[in-house]
Structure 1
Amino acid sequence: MKIDKKERNKLVIVGLVPIIMLLNSVSKSVPQLVEKLYSTGINKPIRQLLSFISSIVPFSAAEFLVFTLIAILIVMVVILIIKIIKGGFLKQLLNIAAYLSGLYVLFMLFWGFNYNRLSFDKIAGLTIEKSSKQELYELCELLIERANNLRAQVAEDSKGVMHIEGGYKDVFKRAYLGYSEAAKLYPELGGSYGRPKGVLLSVPMSYTGITGIYMPYTGEPNVNNNIRDFMLPCTTTHEMAHQRGFAREDEANYIAYVTCTSHPDADFKYSGVMLALINSMNALADVDYEGFRQLYFTYSEGIKRDLQDNREFWKKYEGKIEKISDTVNDTYLKSNGQADGVKSYGRMVDLLLAEYKSGRME
């Protein structure tokens, strides 16, 4: 069978997949090289360029791209089925293989190798080591004190729940300030990037339990703007961490905390501390439930209202779609080397404990 130029190109694209997979596997053993050559080397200008291009449009280009890519795949599968029935399906099978292979190769080139960069504790000069229940308890105590103080400085709505007057648009506008400050200590967080984008279909997105998503193909941090105000700043800065090449979820959470608490405004500081507090108290509840209960009663009434409001909000969206989404996300995380899957979000506490024990935490 004669192979034309187009088919040859498609075979080349498919052939790149095992090469990229091998390179990905090998690069896991040389994080310092990945950090220097890829994450802070060739990949940073790529991320910044994609971010600049997508910033030209005011809406989330990623949101439209996702539906477009899915629609293309559906059409290709339908054509394949027709070809199977009528005959001559091999060319269409190659088309689908080349399409999916191209998406994978671009994902890895645009962002994927960042999973193999230096871990943030190495970048930040923190030492992660085993911590006692008492140290975790003391960390939670400190975070509660900070959260209580900050909660008194933020605005409330008529229900007594934390409220950001300008909404998500104001959060997106101010979010860079925390990164500007944090970059003075950690230059890897610096750089020129486009603003975060709100998801138009945020309400349907809430049924998946997803609060934000970074799109490597467009360089955009996308935020579910339907979530509660006290979580908006930390969710936004979490997705911005991915934009800056930090792929691991636990590290993006910690960076969200760092950049929020570096921010000049109290609403960002409160959001960052609350993210840290929720993760730390969940960890404490697993190992010392009585200690967790004791500390919970020291929350200010404002914090309790915020948390209750958040629980009631998410209860409206619970269901099968969320479970399916969680399974898909878990599989994705595991496929990218986060062995604990969704549970990797809890590793943020190790970084918080390392910061606490280093004496850096206020």
Structure 2
Amino acid sequence: MRSRHLHRAVFVFLTLGIIFSLSAPRFSRLIESRYSSGIYYWTIRPYSLLTGIFPFSLAELIVVSLVLYFIYKAVRAVVALRTNPRDFATTVPGKGKRLVLTLAVVYLAFSFMWGFNYSRLTFAEISGLPVEPASVEELTELATHLVERANELRLQVAEDDRGVMTLNGDIREMFGRAHLGYEKAAEIYPQLGGRYGRPKGVMLSRYWSYTGIGGMYFPFTAEANVNINMPHFLIPFTTTHEMAHQRGFAREDEANYIAYLTSTLHPDVDFQYSGTLQALNYTMSALRRYDPEKWSEVRTTYGEGVWRDLEEWQRYRARYDGSVRQVSTRVNNTYLMANRQTDGVHSYGRMVDLMLAEYRTVKDSWLNEYE
């Protein structure tokens, strides 16, 4: 009897939790004030510092262990089905019920540990940036500024023997100074402040490259995980992107903008160049859709170093392209849409709206730099 009451209580709790999770987008201001800036900040931040003590990625260890476990369970199921199909069939309903319960618990844990951040106020609302439709002329001006800035920064970064940009120090050292850009940004937007666990490189990054994924925030360990097999000019931007997720900014387009902001405010030139180059890539992609002629014209102003880095990026993508990447993109697209990012993977392009909003506020000072 006691067990039955416990099961009912668990069922009611899970049901209410799922209903609350699904209705969260209607209460953005409440989520922002009570959860994102309250419960999440004061619980996940110290938790991430705790998991950050470990020099390796706990998330990677968990994921690999789960994959091995599922393979083991699948093999056992096949053996049981072949040896005694009748007994196997009788266990299916109970196992199915436990699986549904487990998935419900995981979903609720995900929501309470991070997922509610998808329903917080937008970064435009938090920052007060004037996001509005932009003309092609504004987009071209932004792209031109970013090219000039990228060319200038490219002359200051280190190169390898192939003429491709390299980090100022090794990757582990880079992770150790990644927070400096957030400290600067927090002076403008306090919501980006606070100490969190340091980002971590994934040991199986070479294999991860086949998925086309550069980084992942793992809510259950509050770790910002980064693919360290990528070309170096991609890694600082990716790192600060995952750190934005760690700070509760779940939407991909906003995490991209925050990565650009914190990279360009960083005191070190390798971060500045990485953020500027990625911002340029997103801006040029938007310009190409709306004015291919202007896009082609702006591309002619790229410096030689920038071209070498972009060519290295193409070689990297070609080396790891394949069916695994296509499946990974579909899964990522489904995940984003399930979390109400209705543009799916294309929602990354909306980063440009925030950049244009910033451009409007500092346009005069940007243009005066090159007069």
Please tell me whether residue 193 in structure 1 is matched to residue 196 in structure 2: yes
Secondary structure at the counterpart of residue 103 of structure 1: helix
Counting only pairs closer than 5 Å after superposition, residues 299-310 of structure 1 correspond to structure 2 as: 299-310=302-313
CA contact (8 A) 1:16 1:105 kept: no
Q: Which residue of the partner structure matches residue 124 of structure 1? A: 127
Please tell me whether residue 47 in structure 1 is matched to residue 50 in structure 2: no
Q: 1:167 and 1:14 mapped to 2: Cα distance? A: 50
Please tell me whether residue 27 in structure 1 is matched to residue 24 in structure 2: yes
For residue 67 of structure 1, what is the amino acid of its counterpart?
Answer: V
- Shift in Å at residue 71 of structure 1? 4.2
Counting only pairs closer than 5 Å after superposition, residues 261-300 of structure 1 correspond to structure 2 as: 261-300=264-303
Q: Which residue of the partner structure matches residue 176 of structure 1? A: 179
More displaced 10-residue stretch of structure 1: 14-23 or 262-271: 14-23
Q: Deviations over 1:189-217 (max 9, x none)?
A: 11111100100100000000000000000
Secondary structure at the counterpart of residue 165 of structure 2: coil
Q: Which residue of the partner structure matches residue 63 of structure 2? A: 66
More displaced 10-residue stretch of structure 1: 9-18 or 120-129: 9-18
Q: Which residue of the partner structure matches residue 248 of structure 2? A: 245
Q: 1:322 aligns with which of 305, 321, 325?
A: 325
Secondary structure at the counterpart of residue 310 of structure 1: helix
Q: What is the root-mean-square deviation of aligned Cα atoms in Å?
A: 1.9
Q: 2:202 and 2:136 mapped to 1: Cα distance? A: 40
Q: Deviations over 1:87-137 (max 9, x none)?
A: 243332222122212111110110000000010011111011111111111
What TM-score results when the alignment is normalised by the length of structure 2? Answer: 0.92
Q: Which residue of the partner structure matches residue 99 of structure 1? A: 102
Gaps of 5+ in 2: 367-371
Q: 2:138 and 2:23 mapped to 1: Cα distance? A: 37
Q: Which residue of the partner structure matches residue 334 of structure 1? A: 337
Q: Percent identity?
A: 45
Q: 1:290 and 1:127 mapped to 2: Cα distance? A: 28
Please tell me whether residue 356 in structure 1 is matched to residue 336 in structure 2: no
For residue 32 of structure 2, what is the amino acid of its counterpart?
Answer: E
Q: Deviations over 1:7-41 (max 9, x none)?
A: 76556445444423321232212211111000011
CA contact (8 A) 1:73 1:96 kept: no
Gaps of 5+ in 1: none
Q: Deviations over 1:282-324 (max 9, x none)?
A: 0101111111110001011110100001111111000000000
For residue 143 of structure 1, what is the amino acid of its counterpart?
Answer: L
Please tell me whether residue 344 in structure 1 is matched to residue 357 in structure 2: no
Q: 1:52 and 1:33 mapped to 2: Cα distance? A: 26
Q: 1:15 and 1:66 mapped to 2: Cα distance? A: 30
Going from structure 1 to structure 2, the CA distance change for 1:254 and 1:41 (only over 3 Å counts) comes to same
Secondary structure at the counterpart of residue 26 of structure 2: coil
What TM-score results when the alignment is normalised by the length of structure 1? Answer: 0.94
For residue 227 of structure 2, what is the amino acid of its counterpart?
Answer: N
Secondary structure at the counterpart of residue 29 of structure 1: helix
Q: Which residue of the partner structure matches residue 161 of structure 1? A: 164
Q: 2:314 aligns with which of 311, 314, 329?
A: 311
- Shift in Å at residue 80 of structure 1? 6.8
CA contact (8 A) 1:230 1:271 kept: yes
Q: 1:45 and 1:77 mapped to 2: Cα distance? A: 40
- Shift in Å at residue 58 of structure 1? 0.7
CA contact (8 A) 2:132 2:357 kept: yes
For residue 201 of structure 1, what is the amino acid of its counterpart?
Answer: L
CA contact (8 A) 1:171 1:232 kept: no
Q: 1:355 and 1:41 mapped to 2: Cα distance? A: 27
CA contact (8 A) 2:18 2:108 kept: no
